Structure 1
């Protein structure tokens, strides 16, 4: 049975919101609020494939700041490398905190790298570089200003960040032509990353760092760390520190009671950078363990935010 319309049909017409008529309809007792169209939250583009390597797809989780529909506005890009002891990453681990960070006016892209069980070092550094280059090529799609890019990582992601930062321009650490597509970072942030995997058990820790099945052993192919110095050597951040070229500024933040990556790992890195005359800023987070909410307070993120803005 067909029901005839009670009112004449209105032909669809594509018009902007300001020209679209407000409905004249209503009911008795209806409440009215005035709409405020100001964007308050960003959006997420999940599962963006940026490369295929070692027989698997690698993805980005891209978090956008609040933007009006149809906006062509561009924002600085923060590429975040999630820590995982170089194993399979939980890409949602810091996603809520980073989504909140987008409200400060950044696009944030969380990088999936190949785990050490699939590809040993330097695969993770190469993947971070591939992600940066992909995002630059797709800057318009993700509202990115390709001239303002920052790399930030925690734990093994901090190690990956620092190595990418220090080896920019070295083809050994890039899967794309590095001369044609340099990372050209404005700055980098290292949250409690290892700097010398052969020296981590020189300080108190709650896990082994030298055995062949340890995270560090797996990073270099599932072998004993102390028995394979030739494999360890390129993973050591200080071995890539030179006085020239001048590298972009690095911010290092590390907890004084880190039970996984000893605090001294950051001391080694910062001292080497200082001796080479490279720009570095170091914060000791008193009483903080490895990772956790202490690194995502407003005060700490204010430090990160100010550091980024100073170098954009």
Structure 2
């Protein structure tokens, strides 16, 4: 029996994103906080600089398994984005607004290492899921306010280009169906008066970065006076914000990461560079 032999002339330049795991960006309250960084393929003959996305998936302000997000985010990185998955402090060892502070600290770390990871330090976005979306929105909207930063906002200022939110906690006041979420909210905000922590309490007259929001059907159908006020505020304070309702998605499946939603996200990012 003969052996068939072949010759392949395949391209030798880098084609696949690089993944850097467990990169420590800070130590807070005795805990090492890590980043997992996805870098697009970088041609050796050039030195490109890519926009940065800070992605914070946190469910109920608790520890969240990040493994399910690597595959879709590596697909997104192929469009030319550096993506950093952010580990933040989580319950029961954190309180408001520490998760937002961690996002800002992680963002500054990435910008300080822009050359190492081929980042354009002037183009960066926040992106979060559930409670991580709440904290990411707050980070993007209030990065100039010292209360939400551990670093000096005057010497290390931040200005996010935009924010993406997967099922954000917009109105904290209705009693949620999930008792686990209700317990988490009371612990994180350390109060029973949750209304004072609604997002619009922390924005002034300053123009906001644009927002892309994906919400599940239940959130879309349960409109409160506050959620309507939130939408009206986005219309007045941003140039280009959009809200999509996902009929079958939740935070624990891939409904937020379909090819079509990835296209929507990429278009939003490119429109706001």
Question: TM-score of the superposition, structure 2-length normalised?
Answer: 0.89
Find the residue that maps to 2:106 and give its secondary structure. Answer: helix
Give the aligned partner of residue 198 of structure 2: 236
1:25-78: per-residue Cα shift (whole Å, max 9, x none)? xxx964321131243211101101011101011000000111234752210101
Find the residue that maps to 1:269 and give its secondary structure. Answer: helix
* Contact 2:171/2:227 (<8 A) preserved: no
Cα distance in structure 2, aligned partners of 1:233 and 1:285:
24
Give the aligned partner of residue 197 of structure 1: 172
Which has a greater percent of helix? 2
1:209-247: per-residue Cα shift (whole Å, max 9, x none)? 44xxx12112123xxx5xx32xx35531021233x2112
Find the residue that maps to 1:160 and give its secondary structure. Answer: helix
Distance 1:286 1:152, change over 3 A: closer
One of 72, 82, 92 as aligned partner of 1:117: 92
Question: Does 1:300 pair with 2:261?
Answer: yes
Structure 1: gaps (5+ residues): 1-27
Aligned residues: 269
Give the aligned partner of residue 6 of structure 1: none
Give the aligned partner of residue 311 of structure 1: 272
One of 221, 237, 243 as aligned partner of 1:277: 237
Distance 1:302 1:30, change over 3 A: closer
- Output the aligned Cα RMSD: 2.4
Give the aligned partner of residue 68 of structure 1: 43
| Larger Rg computed on CA atoms | 1
Cα distance in structure 1, aligned partners of 2:164 and 2:222:
18
Distance 1:69 1:38, change over 3 A: closer
Cα distance in structure 2, aligned partners of 1:173 and 1:278:
21
Cα distance in structure 2, aligned partners of 1:148 and 1:155:
24
Distance 1:268 1:97, change over 3 A: farther
Task: Tell me how far 1:287 sits from its aligned partner.
Answer: 1.5
By relative contact order (CA 8 Å, sep 6+), the higher-ranking structure is: 2
* Contact 2:214/2:246 (<8 A) preserved: no
Task: Tell me how far 1:285 sits from its aligned partner.
Answer: 2.4
* Contact 1:252/1:266 (<8 A) preserved: no
Distance 1:61 1:284, change over 3 A: same
Runs (4+) of structure 1 moved beyond 6 Å? Answer: none
One of 216, 219, 235 as aligned partner of 2:185: 216
Cα distance in structure 1, aligned partners of 2:222 and 2:115:
41
Distance 1:81 1:249, change over 3 A: same
Find the residue that maps to 2:34 and give its secondary structure. Answer: strand
* Contact 2:58/2:129 (<8 A) preserved: yes
Distance 1:29 1:195, change over 3 A: closer
Task: Tell me how far 1:288 sits from its aligned partner.
Answer: 2.7
Structure 2: gaps (5+ residues): none
Question: TM-score of the superposition, structure 1-length normalised?
Answer: 0.79
Find the residue that maps to 1:94 and give its secondary structure. Answer: helix
